[in-house]
C-alpha cells in the first residue's frame, strides 16, 4: 500500500507534464502550443466563435485562427491585429498560409521574438480579422470581425470568477 500512493502520484504528474498541445502548419513539424481557446465573436453570426491557438517556434511564434464557414469560398485573409490587455497592438501580416478542413477555415500568422515577449507579459484581449469570400443569402458572412477573449457569452453581476483566458501565462509556459 505504501508503494501504490507515490506511484499513483508520479503517474498523474507525468500525465499532466505530457499533456501539452502541439500545432503543425500544413504538415510541418509540430511546435509546442497553448490550448485551443474559443474566443467570442458576437458579430460573426454563422457561429459566434473563433478558435485561437499560439505556438512557440525557433524564430518566434505562430498564431492560428479558425472559424466555421458555410462553404469553402470564405477565408480569413488580410492583416490581423492582436490587441493586448495592456493597450499594445501587434500587427500580423498575411503570409497566405491557409487551409479549409471539415467546414472550418484556418489562417496562420507569424510573430517575431519581440512580439512573443509582449504576448508573455500581457493577455490577449481581442483579435481583429477579415473574412473574405462571396456573400450569398444563407451563406457566409463577410467583413471585419473582432474575436474577444471571453469565456462565456453571459454572466451575472454576482459572478466573481475570472471571465477571460490567461493567455500570457500559457504562452510563458511554452
> For residue range 11-31, what is the model confidence (pLDDT) as tens digits?
444 444 444 688 878 777 888
Digit-coded pLDDT (tens) for 125-153: 999 999 988 766 666 678 899 999 988 76
The CATH number linked to 49 is 2.60.40
C-alpha closest to that of 87 among 117, 60, 34, 126: 126
Separation of CA 108 from chain center: 10
Given pLDDT bands bounded at 50, 70 and 90, which one contains residue 119?
very high
- Number of Cα atoms under 13 Å in the Cβ half of residue 148: 11
The range of the structural domain enclosing residue 19 comes to 4-172
Query: CA nearest 43: which of 109, 123, 130?
Result: 130
Number of domains in the chain: 1
Are the beta carbons of 91 and 114 closer than 8 angstroms?
Answer: no
First to last CA, the chain: 37
Residue 132 grid coordinates: 473574405
Amino acid at each position: 500500500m505504501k508503494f501504490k500512493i507515490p506511484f499513483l502520484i508520479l503517474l498523474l504528474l507525468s500525465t499532466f507534464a505530457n499533456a501539452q498541445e502541439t500545432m503543425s502548419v500544413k504538415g510541418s513539424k509540430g511546435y509546442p502550443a497553448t490550448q485551443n481557446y474559443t474566443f467570442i465573436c458576437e458579430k460573426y453570426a454563422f457561429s459566434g466563435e473563433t478558435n485561437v491557438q499560439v505556438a512557440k517556434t525557433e524564430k518566434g511564434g505562430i498564431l492560428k485562427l479558425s472559424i466555421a464557414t458555410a462553404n469553402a469560398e470564405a477565408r480569413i485573409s488580410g492583416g490581423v491585429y492582436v490587441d493586448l490587455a495592456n493597450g499594445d497592438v501587434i500587427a500580423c501580416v498575411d503570409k497566405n498560409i491557409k487551409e479549409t478542413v471539415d467546414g472550418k477555415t484556418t489562417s496562420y500568422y507569424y510573430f517575431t521574438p519581440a512580439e512573443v515577449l509582449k504576448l508573455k507579459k500581457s493577455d490577449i484581449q481581442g483579435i481583429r480579422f477579415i473574412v473574405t469570400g462571396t456573400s450569398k443569402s444563407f451563406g457566409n458572412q463577410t467583413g471585419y470581425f473582432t474575436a474577444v477573449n471571453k469565456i462565456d457569452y453571459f454572466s451575472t453581476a454576482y459572478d466573481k470568477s475570472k471571465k477571460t483566458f490567461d493567455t500570457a501565462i500559457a504562452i510563458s509556459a511554452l
